[in-house]
Amino acid sequence: MKNPVSYIQEKSSSLLMLFICVMCMLFLFLAPYTSAEDCKECHFIPGDISHRLHSSPNIINPEYGNSGYTYQYSKNSNEYGFNCGNCHPQDISRHKNGFLDTELYSKKASGLKKMNSKDASFDTIKRTCSGVYCHSSGENRKSLKYIETPAWESSFGEFKCQGCHGSPPSYPNEKGRENSHFNTENGSGHLLGIHWDSTKGHTKESIMQDRSSDMGCSTCHYSTITKDTDTTFVDNVSGLFTCSRCHDDKSVTGKNRTGTIANKALHVNGIVEVAFSTKKFRSTARMIRVPLGWKRTGQKMDATGYDELISGLNLATYIPEEKKCLNVACHLTGKEVKWGDEIGCDSCHGDFLP
């Protein structure tokens, strides 16, 4: 027969071990998992193409409820890094509840998630999201236009920029939703380039022969996109400026090319980043005299001649609080220009035309 004291000690030791095991199990199942290492203790980090495109493991450490976004992790990135809380619940009590929860709106949301629509949702049949800021026109909150996303594990295909922004945006210029340059209701708005074909003699050939520069996203958003190759634009306002008017011929290379994002940290960060291009723009305007900051190649009426900026537009300044641009060489006279002002040919060219 065992010694009573030894028996009690053995029992106590067993109960202690059982208690420790139970507490360990409770900790594993109830403790909030926040680091990438903790997540991997239970399941693999999703590796499908859509998860990788939205949440690159090179950028983020997955954390339950964390709504961090790319710019918070890196100021310059060629990948996106949206943490788990952007698409899943931020409430830790909903972790390990037996459901794969998708939550695109929350009253307590932070980061970019708070800019989602109250009606933001995920369609489980079509596998698309709607009402999310990450797939919107990117304008101010009052004018924001949400775009239904492609189905999960699919892509925009050839119409990437056009899919969200209009590429370029073609909405009418109005208070609160200004659109000075790319307004298709006004042919002088430089929609597709500097003197594209808005006046007699300034045609697509000028751009193709590198005598008239294309004007696109990179002109004023150079920190986000440094290369304009987007020819996917469809003009739903006037119908006059649709890219396929010039790019539907098989001899024209690059039909339906899309723009290239240079820095994804700046692309979806809740801010309209304005940074002027370093490119030396060209124009075939052939004005009576050469404006300050420009130089001329060829004679005034030379069909192959052009005017070129001596330096890039990056000497210009934008004041976001006042929506003003200063020292923009394209405006010739050097006066300040306010985004949203109604402009015409004479606004810039009045002093330089014959």
Q: For residue range 80-90, what is the model confidence (pLDDT) as tens digits?
A: 999 999 999 98
Q: For residue range 180-234, what is the model confidence (pLDDT) as tens digits?
A: 776 555 544 555 555 444 444 445 666 667 777 777 788 888 999 887 766 666 6
Those residues with Cβ within 8 angstroms of residue 13's Cβ, 6 or more apart along the chain or in another chain? none
**Contact indicator for 306, 317 with CB cutoff of 8 Å:** no
Q: For residue range 25-38, what is the model confidence (pLDDT) as tens digits?
A: 444 444 444 444 56
Q: Helices then strands (H, E): number in the chain?
A: 10, 8
Nearest to 276 by CA among 235, 318, 309: 318
Query: CA-CA distance, 72 to 12, in Å (whole number)?
Result: 52
Cα–Cα distances in Å, from 348 out to 71, 186, 288, 334? 37, 15, 14, 9
Query: CA-CA distance, 217 to 44, in Å (whole number)?
Result: 39
276 by Cβ neighbours in 10 Å (0-12 / 13-18 / 19+) ranks as: buried
pLDDT lower than 70: segments of the chain: 1-40, 157-159, 167-168, 182-208, 229-259, 285-286, 300-301, 333-334, 343-345, 347-354
pTM above the 0.85 mark?
Answer: no
